[in-house]
Structure 1
Amino acid sequence: MSPVVKTQYHSWCTGNLSEGCIQCVNGRKLVLFITGLCAQRCWYCPVSEQKFGEDVAFANEWKISDPKNPVELFEEARLTNATGAGITGGDPLVLTERCVEYIKLLKKRFGKEFHIHLYTPLKLVTQERLKKLYDAGLDEIRFHPNIEDKTLWDRLNLAKQFKWKIGIEIPVIPFLEKEMKELIDYAKGKIDFINLNELERSDTQTSHYKIDERNLKQKDAISYGVKGSKELALKLLKYAQSKGLAAHFCTAKLKDSVQMKNRLQIRAKNAKYDFDEMTEEGLLLRGCAYLKQLAPGAGYREKIKQADKQKLLRELEIIRKTVLSKWETPIEIDSEKLRIILPIEFVKKHKLALKKIGVILAIVEEYPTADAIEMTVDFL
């Protein structure tokens, strides 16, 4: 096995990266959160309280409104130029049939070469479920064994019956070095690779999240990475190398500075209006006109949820027509956030006249994602 080397993605590896990882670091893997249902309660699970335990599905940040007709899934794949998808949860095997359906739909829409991997604990792994996934076209399966309990480790053997890539993916927990080395020993010859994720703290409020009780601290003020995780991961890479096992240490910096950035840049280029400006990080800069009752501020998102959408869209259309009767300019109605989007220079030039129409103006920097989270809102 090749020596441990640092990659261009702020990560380390020995051997080759899996196809799923290669696509991911390039921002070309869609994250398909297929359900928040899960039979396990891992004390380090970062999934938010809005998702965990709920049967909700997301394509990246975009909630799939009807899981039986996942139109958002296909549109998100298009907007991000996705060449593959990673299925996660919760535990996807709680809804194996949904996984099978989505794998088939994605392969049919984007072709057999559209690479799909799935990440699952061992608790619900059976030969029958694995066969359904394999027959549907799953290319790569990644298991998340319970590091502190060997009871179900033998289920890794079930995956060897199928001609797909098999991996293990686990967070690197600083005080479990012995157990993780034992897992590497056990997995040798049964899997193709192991992914070691830097353990990160989460803002989740789920009751089973106990990272504070384990006395695990952030390594510094700017990272969610846990102190000691990276140091142990580098030791485990050398250990995996000594066993002839391909391994990759995926850092928090990779996820934020490489994978996420690449995906945002792609989506921004595809989702932006011609007049939108784009930052180097892939965020959008745009001029926005808000109705007075729906300007960004305290409770903004909740106000949008509770709003009479059709009534407000009619108001926005009246404003749009008023603007076009006075000026020749690109102008778009945002039906999700119930606002009007305009070129920045136009908003700055005509701010006094626009305010007389009865709108609140701002220059907004926001993510190009479906949830369009605002980074900055500068009111004019």
Structure 2
Amino acid sequence: MSRVRVLAATLMITIAGAVVAMLPAGPATAADCVTPWQSSAVYTGGMTASYNGHNWRAKWWTQNETPGAADVWADQGTCGGSTPSPGTCTYPNWTAGTWYDTGAIVRYTNGNYYIAEHGNPGYDPTISTWYWDPYACSGGGTTPPPTNPGGFVVTEAQFTQMFPSRNGFYTYQGLVAALSSYPAFATTGTDTVRRQEAAAFLANVSHETGGLVYITEINRGTYCDLSQPYGCPAGAANYYGRGPIQLSWNFNYKAAGDALGLPLLTNPWLVETDAAVAWRTALWYWNTQTGPGTMTPHNAMVTGAGFGETIRSINGSLECNGGNPGQVQSRVTAYQQFVQILGTTAGANLYC
């Protein structure tokens, strides 16, 4: 069954100018200040910055919004002195199955720290981004995750070159944060295969979203299968396409949410408000779903079946076998452009 629908009208994130709030008095002994806030920088949920003698943590995506603005930045207390030095954090190690209240801070097995945004029974912080956000220790700890962690074959500069007009919602940082959910993505096989898979994924994403411009469907359909025992608790009209691969239908939101540890069936809006969640749903489909095809898009690329089979798995029932050659060509053209940016070749079997 095809899961992709007509592209949605962009949910452009427009936030009113921030008003700097009066800063509350801090404790007598201030923590060290983290990296100073920059108005031009993009901050995603969990990132920190110092401003006006306080450390602040972004609750979600923000740019040009002064720390202190209501509902955007969380005050982490007064600060003073140098930026953090590693090795002095004393937060406990995360333990699966342990209950964590909102605000709890833990050290995960990857050495990074996370803060509970919602109480949870020990969900994996690298997967359950509804419950956990990255946290920078104000007293030290690990350095922030690198811009290009794990040797991801697409740099931020290349990502920007691929999507020069993208919506600010689709951040490179959000994509990077999502990679840990499916570590085999773009890390399997030779360097050529890894680059081809990344290019194939991003080419299909580009086609689905008009170059990472659209977040939700333009003409929103009603994708509620009431035969499912869990129904449509968010409302029958609210399972429209969202995100990089336009996730739609209640059963897909249920399956993706279960796989990622997110409440997507009851809160599908997470896919259009949290960049990392949006990217995770796209990677979920890419790595685990065959759709109308016979293999996952990930397997199509790492086994040599070719780019054409990724199209079949995403929207092949409508586009392949002569169904819509113009749409197929649009995907292939994007793929050919992206492999060139990544310095590799497109390989065989481009069409379906």
- Report the TM range for the smaller structure's normalisation: under 0.3
Higher Cα Rg: structure 1 or 2? 1
The structure that is strand-richer by fraction is: 1
Q: TM-score, normalised by structure 2?
A: 0.28
Q: TM-score, normalised by structure 1?
A: 0.26
The structure that is helix-richer by fraction is: 1
